[in-house]
């Protein structure tokens, strides 16, 4: 017992693992089985990602708007730009499709050409009534359909921008889904099993190409694409990393065990998602592939160390124990810093990022324990490495590359600094060229058909990004006051003058339509009533909505008549200008609506998304600074030297600056997907720094604090593993460029590039900085530690282990 506790911690861990191999493997099997039972709790998210915390003022205002007017994301639009729609055959097929959708339980309302209603005056009841616009008995007459088309475009300005584009002749229908199912699995069932087949049937019958869009449709197809890509990412990650592992080590057995480890890691990742009851989102869907990409470097580092030790003394048991004793701490530190990099997302106060940070950090640490246990046990059961398995240690092309780096570190450190400073200056110039994107659709899969449909509606109906203005009159029934309506009309005219915005829609349009209907549908009277007309025209309008489920004003005025909304749409390409647009509208609204009588709120999905992007940028920059601080504290704890803290931070800051500068030069904007690059890349890049410095710390003890000798020994021992792992990470993250989502492509490409910069920085700049500061560091490093004699296993213990094998 005394002997056991006299061993160092990692010697103890190695002894426990290798002496209890069956027990350790049994524990892993049990944990895997228990986590597999949690898979039943995994489900895909049916709600939209919100980048802002719930208590943020922008979210509070948006929630207040939804409470007054209901969910705005329940609209599906079906459009067509083809004159053939006004032929009997096509019109009949269109009517069948719309009627079938209208009867579905998932649909609340359908506003379509075939069932269009128009306001008509009923003088006897002093009210307006909704009457059919089209006589269904005449729809087989081509001439009648052409007349209907002409009347719709010329005589019904209320529906312009809603159901038709007067300039191009495009027609669209609006399908309002039941708000209760928009964020449930029933939405997916309706879209994929009812709507899409109905559209396909129409196109097959008529040969007319339909365009479909709207948030329920986009979200459903987006989710389907994400689900399909999970298996692609997992398969591609396994293939790429396994090929690279085999290329490095030329061992089927070592490659197989590495694949088994990461597959178990993937199984655990799904298990933790289910255990924590997290939904699969666009971020958590990446976790299984991240586990593969991050897990393989662990396997490479431990396997490479095993081969290095075995090459020295050809004693397998001794080599296996030294894998844990010599690099256990370095491997723990590297995984810990990676986990910290992802854990910084927890501090973002955003549920989406919090879940991603929690599940990824947990899985990274779980993967570390898997590797540190399974790899030594596995190699203890199989024969010792053959010569061809350890030839990679002396492989010529790698050796030439590593020797070139070492020569530069020894003799050309000034040149390294000149290049580093030059790259830093260039990157700073590029950073000033960076921009923030407010686009809602920029990251969507551009190769998918539904993206082309989004572009169609952007062009034909002046945008798809909704911007809402809510007006609180501060008194019940205040909206229908003529003074309020005139103020709203003045604001709408100001909005109409903003080139980035579409024609606004509000209760004002309905009141204008009421006056047109009062004058027997004459389009010349599509305007607000005068003060003399308001009493009888508005009374007609109010009477038309009493006890009617087809309340034409319910979408624009709340039940109390105190709140009104003005809806406009913005082209996605104008997302970057949304702050300027908001300020312009706010200035005009403040001038039109006195603050003591009205409260004007500007909100909508477009604004919430843009504000969320800015909030995410601020928080992730704070999270990144926090990650730098934790790394600095770790290095300070290891070396007790401020200069060593700088030595560790500079090689990891430079790659991030280079990537940011490159984004500026290539016009890759800052958006939710690209903002994540920096936190993830830092967490992975700093691994090499911590691995190098941890090994360097051990070499200092072995070499009597001789810094130059310790740096060269560290480079020789850890440099090859750093090269291997960086190459695997580079190609591993490149797998994400197979995605059809622009955000995932940018994430994979930029992280790969940053890690490549990080590898060169850690292999060249890091040791160069240590050597440059070697004259003063030796005096500053305060290692007040007793000398510990490492107790190697006795020959009898080694023989015992061999016999057990």
**CA distance linking residue 503 with residue 570, whole number of Å:** 10
Contacts of 127 (CB under 8 A, 6+ apart): 540, 543, 544
- Residue 748's pLDDT band (boundaries 50, 70, 90)? confident
Tell me which long-range contacts 625-632 makes (C-beta under 8 A, separation of at least 24).
626/344, 626/347, 627/340, 627/341, 627/344, 627/679, 627/682, 627/683, 627/686, 628/653, 628/682, 630/337, 630/340, 631/337, 631/340, 631/686, 631/689, 631/690
Does position 5 have pLDDT exceeding 80, yes or no? no
**CA distance linking residue 183 with residue 160, whole number of Å:** 30
| 742, 443 contact by CB (below 8 A) | yes
Q: How many CB atoms lie within 10 A of CB 621?
A: 13
Does position 777 have pLDDT exceeding 70, yes or no? no
Contacts of 776 (CB under 8 A, 6+ apart): 643
Does position 300 have pLDDT exceeding 70, yes or no? yes
DSSP-derived secondary structure for 587-601: HHHHHHS-TTT-EEE
Predicted pLDDT at 780: 46
> Residues of 274-303 as b/e, b for ≥16 C-beta within 10 angstroms?
bbeebbbbbbbbbbbbbbbbbbbbbbbbbb
Q: Compute φ and ψ for 435, nearest 5 degrees.
A: -135, 160
Predicted pLDDT at 791: 40
**CA distance linking residue 175 with residue 111, whole number of Å:** 7
Q: Provide mean pLDDT across the span 138-146.
A: 88
Q: Provide mean pLDDT across the span 82-101.
A: 90
Predicted pLDDT at 618: 75
Mean pLDDT of the chain: 80
Q: Provide mean pLDDT across the span 773-796.
A: 44
Does position 793 have pLDDT exceeding 70, yes or no? no
Sign (positive or negative) of CA dihedral 339, 345, 350, 353: negative
Helices (H), 138-184: 142-155
Predicted pLDDT at 4: 39
Does position 178 have pLDDT exceeding 70, yes or no? yes
| 545, 552 contact by CB (below 8 A) | yes
Does position 784 have pLDDT exceeding 50, yes or no? no
- CA atoms lying within 13 Å on the CB side of residue 762: 30
**CA distance linking residue 728 with residue 131, whole number of Å:** 68
**CA distance linking residue 259 with residue 102, whole number of Å:** 51
Local structure of 208: helix, strand or coil: coil
Of the candidates 298, 303, 279, the one whose C-alpha atom is nearest the C-alpha of residue 364 is 298
Of the candidates 449, 256, 283, 274, the one whose C-alpha atom is nearest the C-alpha of residue 350 is 283
Q: Compute φ and ψ for 120, nearest 5 degrees.
A: -140, 140
Of the candidates 283, 302, 287, the one whose C-alpha atom is nearest the C-alpha of residue 339 is 287
Among left, alpha and beta (phi > 0; psi -120 to 50; other), residue 705 is left
pLDDT > 90 in the chain, percent:
11
Q: Which residues pair with 579 in a beta bridge?
A: none
Sign (positive or negative) of CA dihedral 212, 213, 217, 223: positive
Tell me which long-range contacts 519-524 makes (C-beta under 8 A, separation of at least 24).
520/121, 521/118, 521/120, 521/155, 523/154, 523/155, 523/156, 523/157
| 163, 173 contact by CB (below 8 A) | yes
Predicted pLDDT at 389: 64
- Residue 264's pLDDT band (boundaries 50, 70, 90)? very high
């Amino acid at each position: 017992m005394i002997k056991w506790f006299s061993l160092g911690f990692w010697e103890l861990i190695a002894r426990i693992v290798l002496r209890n191999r069956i027990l350790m493997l049994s524990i892993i099997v049990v944990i895997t089985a228990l986590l597999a039972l949690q898979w039943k709790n995994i489900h895909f998210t049916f709600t939209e990602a919100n980048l802002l915390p719930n208590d943020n003022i922008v979210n509070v205002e948006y929630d207040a708007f939804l409470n007054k007017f209901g969910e705005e994301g329940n609209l599906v639009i079906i459009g067509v730009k083809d004159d053939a729609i006004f032929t009997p055959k096509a019109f009949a097929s269109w009517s069948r499709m719309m009627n079938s959708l209208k009867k579905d339980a998932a649909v609340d309302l359908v506003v379509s050409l075939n069932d269009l209603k128009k306001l008509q005056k009923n003088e006897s009841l002093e009210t307006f009534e909704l009457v059919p616009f089209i006589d269904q008995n005449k729809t087989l007459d081509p001439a009648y359909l052409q007349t209907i088309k002409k009347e719709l475009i010329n005589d019904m300005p209320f529906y312009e921008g809603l159901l038709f584009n007067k300039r191009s002749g495009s027609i669209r229908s609006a399908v309002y889904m039941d708000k209760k199912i928009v964020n449930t699995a029933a939405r997916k069932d309706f879209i994929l099993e009812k709507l899409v087949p109905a559209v396909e049937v129409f196109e097959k019958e008529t040969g007319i190409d339909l365009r479909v869009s709207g948030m329920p449709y986009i979200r459903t197809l987006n989710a389907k694409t994400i689900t399909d890509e999970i298996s692609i990412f997992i398969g591609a990650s396994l293939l790429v990393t396994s090929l690279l592992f085999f290329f490095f080590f030329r061992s089927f057995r070592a490659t197989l065990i590495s694949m088994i480890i990461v597959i178990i890691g993937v199984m655990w990742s799904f298990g933790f998602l289910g255990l924590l009851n997290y939904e699969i989102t666009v971020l958590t869907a990446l976790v299984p592939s991240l586990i593969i990409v991050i897990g393989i470097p662990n396997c490479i580092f431990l396997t490479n160390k095993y081969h290095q030790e075995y090459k020295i003394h050809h004693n397998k048991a001794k080599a296996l124990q030294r894998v844990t004793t010599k690099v256990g701490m370095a491997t723990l530190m590297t995984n810990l810093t990676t986990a910290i990099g992802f854990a910084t997302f927890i501090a973002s106060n955003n549920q989406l990022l919090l879940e991603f940070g929690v599940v990824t950090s947990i899985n990274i640490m779980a993967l570390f324990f898997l590797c540190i246990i399974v790899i030594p046990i596995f190699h203890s059961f199989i024969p010792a490495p053959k010569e061809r398995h350890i030839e990679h240690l002396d492989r010529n092309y790698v050796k030439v590359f590593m020797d070139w780096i070492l020569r530069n570190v020894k003799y050309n450190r000034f040149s390294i600094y000149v290049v580093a400073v030059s790259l830093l200056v260039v990157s700073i110039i590029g950073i000033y060229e960076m921009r923030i994107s407010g686009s809602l659709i920029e990251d969507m899969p551009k190769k998918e058909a539904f993206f082309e449909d989004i572009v169609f509606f952007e062009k034909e109906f002046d945008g798809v990004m909704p911007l809402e203005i809510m007006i609180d009159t501060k008194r019940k029934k205040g909206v229908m006051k003529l003074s309020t309506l005139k103020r709203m009309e003045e604001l709408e005219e100001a909005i109409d003058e903003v080139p980035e915005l579409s024609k606004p829609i509000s209760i004002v349009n309905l009141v204008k339509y009421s006056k047109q209907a009062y004058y027997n549908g004459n389009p010349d009277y599509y305007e607000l009533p005068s003060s003399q007309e308001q009493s009888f025209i508005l009374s007609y309008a109010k009477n038309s909505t009493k006890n009617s489920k087809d309340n034409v004003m319910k979408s624009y005025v709340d039940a109390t008549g105190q709140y009104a909304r003005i809806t406009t749409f913005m082209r996605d390409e104008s997302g970057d200008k949304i702050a300027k647009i908001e300020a312009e509208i706010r200035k005009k609204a403040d001038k039109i609506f006195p603050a003591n009588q009205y409260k004007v709120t500007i909100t909508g999905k477009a604004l919430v998304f843009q504000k969320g992007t800015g909030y995410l940028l601020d928080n992730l920059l704070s999270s990144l600074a926090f990650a730098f601080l934790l790394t600095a504290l770790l290095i300070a704890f290891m070396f007790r030297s401020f200069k060593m803290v700088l030595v560790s931070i500079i090689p990891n800051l430079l790659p991030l600056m280079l990537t940011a500068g490159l984004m500026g030069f290539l016009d890759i904007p800052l958006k939710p997907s690209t903002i994540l690059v920096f936190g993830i890349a830092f967490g992975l890049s700093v691994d090499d720094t911590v691995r190098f410095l941890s090994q360097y710390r051990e070499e200092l003890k072995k070499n009597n604090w001789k810094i130059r000798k310790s740096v060269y020994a560290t480079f020789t021992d850890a440099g090859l593993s750093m090269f291997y792992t960086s190459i695997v990470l580079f190609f591993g993250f490149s797998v994400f460029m197979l995605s059809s989502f622009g955000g995932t492509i940018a994430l994979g490409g930029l992280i790969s590039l940053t890690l490549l910069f990080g590898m060169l920085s850690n292999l060249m700049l890091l040791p160069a900085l240590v050597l440059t500061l070697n004259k003063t560091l030796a005096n500053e490093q305060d290692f007040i530690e007793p000398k510990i004699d490492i107790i190697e296993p006795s020959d009898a213990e080694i023989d015992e282990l061999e016999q057990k094998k």
